[in-house]
A and B are shown apart, each in its own frame.
Chain A
């Protein structure tokens, strides 16, 4: 059986001329949690934006290669069309509607999905905290609550593939742990396949089945999560567990990059 999501040899450009991603291939198997790791600016978000079609709003597009979901080509489709197929992208930085209340946020998305009160209730059961803050302006929620709301909004679509972009960014470690256990719960109970872009490699590899590591717009290494966890380079540079090397010079960023590219 082919993977649920396949990106093959994709080239992604912004603003007709700026090439961000070249020759990117990745696959997400149904029923797994897959993560994309990498530092800032590696192209993780761009990849997810391209898959979800949202990249259009930044005047970007896939200029070569293709993206397919459940065997159908979704390259450069409209975001609402892709969402309708069950691919939902929770953007980086908790992109909820801050001027609207929690209720209105849910109403706005439910307007699209046609989710009824029962579905809303089912989603809120995962995030009881949101129920307490139902009439609060979303901008006044704490960072963790905002991230919960962002995921709750995505769940209203009953997604098949949920793409989470840096869900842990800017959150306290304890909140991150809670969030991750909710993600795992959703994965188990609802059978949602998850594609996770993270800088927090330790957390991401804990829950993932498979991982990709991106740098400078390409995938530099990939493998099952337990293999990646033991990988010498990843242990050192992403998990901070490797032996310290002799001398500062050899640990410098560009040195590391050179070995992988």
Chain B
């Protein structure tokens, strides 16, 4: 399809959907980053936590028929599992090389995969929600788009502001930079790390349910969460605000690729994430906002 054949309406919807998807990616990406900041390692269990949260939401939604109950239950499960991984897996591995935690969370990934199969099987379903469509100029916005947008933005902003503006946030950033040094100054390092994992669970759970609202509950959500890791790496693993850009870059790339490249490269939409990551890391090895530390000799 040639570019000029695409009209304004298609363009604006394409971009809106890309940005929206990107914001949802940012939520999950932020979960990776919060854990990275605490433990200097990657939590590979995230995709299964996301899936577990989504199936929990599906079960509670089917039982009660209410979306807010589903939302709350997804977040509670995600936060609880995330904190349990910190206590059970990350804390005993404190002070070991990052690879130890990567391996351990991969183990958790497969363990949770089993749990997910028991809880949700591989069911595919939509959450109970009446969807209306609104037209805003050239843009068509659905109810579930609005819910996703309004759910994600305040939480993304809230976590960033918490880190930037409060003394609790300053303490969390201190631990992120130098846990041992923070311990020497008497900061409650373990508690702050646990708080980091809890926040990661919060954004992951929210991301999960909002993705489910936006699309559907299905085993595919796992792959969304894996692609969110690319958004996190594009932003820089230790950047919090940057994930928004990382996510949006990824969301747009996916939308545009599946629109324009799919006829030539079938399936490129869902594969573009890591291709993009590869290209970007060639140029910016720490991602766009990853910190290259200031050194003074």
Q: Is the CB of B187 within 8 A of A100?
A: no
User: Which residue of A is nearest B176, CB measured?
Assistant: A99
Q: Is the CB of B170 within 8 A of A57?
A: no
CB distance from A60 to the nearest CB of B (A): 9
Contact stretch, chosen from A83-91, A179-187, A203-211: A83-91
Q: Is the CB of A111 within 8 A of B168?
A: yes
CA distance A58 to B184 in the complex (A): 12
User: Which residue of B is nearest A140, CB measured?
Assistant: B294
Q: Which residues of B contact A53 (CB under 8 A)?
A: 183
Q: Is the CB of A143 within 8 A of B183?
A: no
* Known contacts A54-B184, A97-B173; A107 and B167 CB within 8 A of each other: yes
Q: Which residues of A contact B186 (CB under 8 A)?
A: 79-80, 82-84, 88, 109, 112-113, 157
Q: Is the CB of A107 within 8 A of B95?
A: no
CA distance A113 to B167 in the complex (A): 11
CB distance from B236 to the nearest CB of A (A): 13
CA distance A110 to B166 in the complex (A): 11
Within B168-206, the residues touching A (CB, 8 Å) are 168, 170-171, 173-174, 177-190
Q: Is the CB of A112 within 8 A of B296?
A: no
CA distance A140 to B185 in the complex (A): 21
Q: Is the CB of A57 within 8 A of B180?
A: yes
* Known contacts A59-B96, A79-B186; A100 and B174 CB within 8 A of each other: yes
CA distance A107 to B164 in the complex (A): 11
Q: Which residues of A contact B135 (CB under 8 A)?
A: none
Whether B12 is near chain A, meaning CB under 8 Å from some CB there, is: no
Which of A79, A90, A104, A157 is close to B189, meaning CB atoms less than 8 Å apart? A79
Whether A35 is near chain B, meaning CB under 8 Å from some CB there, is: no
Q: Is the CB of B187 within 8 A of A112?
A: yes
User: Which residue of B is nearest A53, CB measured?
Assistant: B183
* Known contacts A99-B291, A108-B170, A139-B294; A89 and B184 CB within 8 A of each other: yes
CB distance from A197 to the nearest CB of B (A): 13
Within B80-123, the residues touching A (CB, 8 Å) are 94-96
Which of under 10, 10 to 19, 20 to 34, or 35 or more describes the interface residues of A? 35 or more
Q: Which residues of B contact A110 (CB under 8 A)?
A: 167
CB distance from A6 to the nearest CB of B (A): 21
Count of residues in B whose CB is under 8 Å from the partner chain: 29
Q: Which residues of B contact A79 (CB under 8 A)?
A: 183-184, 186, 189
User: Which residue of A is nearest B238, CB measured?
Assistant: A99
Whether A214 is near chain B, meaning CB under 8 Å from some CB there, is: no
Which of B95, B173, B188, B293 is close to A104, meaning CB atoms less than 8 Å apart? B173
Which of A56, A80, A90, A146 is close to B95, meaning CB atoms less than 8 Å apart? A56
Which of A80, A99, A111 is close to B167, meaning CB atoms less than 8 Å apart? A111
* Known contacts A59-B96, A80-B189; A111 and B177 CB within 8 A of each other: no
CA distance A100 to B293 in the complex (A): 11
Q: Is the CB of A80 within 8 A of B188?
A: yes
CA distance A56 to B181 in the complex (A): 12
User: Which residue of B is nearest A57, CB measured?
Assistant: B180
User: Which residue of B is nearest A139, CB measured?
Assistant: B294
Q: Is the CB of A97 within 8 A of B167?
A: no
CB distance from B161 to the nearest CB of A (A): 14
Q: Which residues of A contact B182 (CB under 8 A)?
A: 97, 108
CA distance A79 to B192 in the complex (A): 14
Within A172-198, the residues touching B (CB, 8 Å) are none
Which of A54, A84, A111, A170 is close to B183, meaning CB atoms less than 8 Å apart? A54
CB distance from B10 to the nearest CB of A (A): 43
Q: Is the CB of A108 within 8 A of B183?
A: no
CA distance A151 to B293 in the complex (A): 22
* Known contacts A108-B170, A137-B294; A88 and B185 CB within 8 A of each other: yes
Which of B171, B181, B293 is close to A95, meaning CB atoms less than 8 Å apart? B181
Q: Which residues of A contact B94 (CB under 8 A)?
A: 57
User: Which residue of A is nearest B96, CB measured?
Assistant: A59
Which of B96, B171, B181, B187 is close to A91, meaning CB atoms less than 8 Å apart? B181
Whether A98 is near chain B, meaning CB under 8 Å from some CB there, is: yes
CA distance A99 to B255 in the complex (A): 36
Q: Which residues of B contact A146 (CB under 8 A)?
A: 296
Which one of A107, A143, A170 has the greatest number of beta carbons of chain B within 10 Å? A107
Interface, chain B (partner A; CB < 8 A)? 94-96, 167-168, 170-171, 173-174, 177-190, 291, 293-297
A-B contact pairs, 19 of them (CB 8 A): A57-B94, A57-B95, A57-B183, A91-B180, A95-B181, A99-B173, A100-B170, A104-B174, A105-B170, A107-B170, A108-B170, A108-B171, A109-B174, A110-B167, A111-B168, A112-B171, A137-B294, A139-B293, A143-B296
Interface, chain A (partner B; CB < 8 A)? 52-54, 56-59, 78-80, 82-84, 88-91, 95-100, 104-105, 107-113, 137, 139-140, 143, 146, 153-154, 157, 170
Given A57-B94, A96-B181, A97-B173, output 8 extra A-B contacts at Cβ < 8 Å. A80-B188, A82-B186, A88-B184, A97-B181, A98-B294, A107-B170, A109-B185, A112-B187
Across the A-B interface, the 9 shortest Cβ-Cβ residue pairs: A83-B186, A139-B294, A95-B181, A79-B183, A108-B174, A108-B170, A107-B170, A57-B180, A111-B167
